[in-house]
Amino acid sequence: MTQTNRYLCCLVALGAFSLLTPLRLVQVTGASMEPTLHNHDRYLLDRFYYRFGGIQYDDVVVLSHDGGEIIKRVKGLPGDHLQMYVLSDGGRMPVVNLTRHPEARRRDPVWANEVVVPPNTLYVVGDNLIVSEDSRRFGPAPDTELVGLVRDWNLSRSFSEPVRDVGRQPRSPQAGGTTYAETYAAHPGEKYRQRAPRVRSSHP
C-alpha cells in the first residue's frame, strides 16, 4: 500500500469515527456564556448519552438555531413557571424559576413578567446576561433544536452558574457607559463566527 493510499484510508477511518461517535469537539465563539465558558474554549458535545437521563436544570447545551449553533444554559423545563426582571427600556435580565424556587417570587412591578415553558421546549439563557441573545429574546426553544449536551474533558456535565443576588435590582445600562457588577461585558468589537465545529454563544 502506497503512502497516498494509507493517508486516504486514515482520512476515511477518521471521518467514519467522527460520524459514528456520539461525542464531538466544539469550540465556543463569543462572550454570552462568560464567565463560565470563554471565547475559543473547547469542550465535548454529547449527542447521545445524555438521552438516558434526559436534559436537567442548569445543563449547558448546544442548539441549532437561526441558521447556526448556539450554546446556552437550561433555566426552564416544560411546565415551569419563570419570572424575570424587566429593565426600563424593555430589556430582560435575571430569570428566576418559580417552580424550583417558589420562595423567590417577587411582587415588584419590574418582576411582573412571568412565562410558562410550553411542552416540548427548553428555556435557555446565557450566563452573560447583558450580551446574550437567548429565550428572553426569542422565547423557549423547541426541543427539536437540541444538538447535544456540553461536557467537560472529564465528561462532567456540571458547569457552575455565576452567583448573582437576584434580590437586588440590576442597574439599567446608561448611554455611552459600561455596566459591571452582576453582569459581564463582551470584549469590545467582538463578533461571533460560524465556522464548524464552533458554536456561537449568541450575542449581537
pTM comes to 0.72
Cα 146 to the center of its chain, rounded Å: 11
Residue 174 has pLDDT above 70, yes or no: no
Dihedral angle over CA of 46, 47, 52, 54, nearest 10: 90
Contact predicate 198/50, CB 8 Å: no
Q: Which residues of 64-89 are buried (b: 16+ CB within 10 A; e: fewer)?
A: ebeebbbbbbbbbbeebbbbbbeeee
pLDDT at 109: 77
d(CA 3, CA 182): 57
DSSP designation for 131: T
Confidence class of residue 12 from pLDDT cuts 50, 70 and 90?
low
Residue 175 has pLDDT above 80, yes or no: no
Residue 18 has pLDDT above 60, yes or no: no
> Which residue is it, cell 448519552?
49
Dihedral angle over CA of 146, 30, 194, 14, nearest 10: -70
pLDDT at 194: 33
Cα 180 to the center of its chain, rounded Å: 21
Query: 88 in helix, strand or coil?
Result: coil
Residue 31 has pLDDT above 70, yes or no: yes
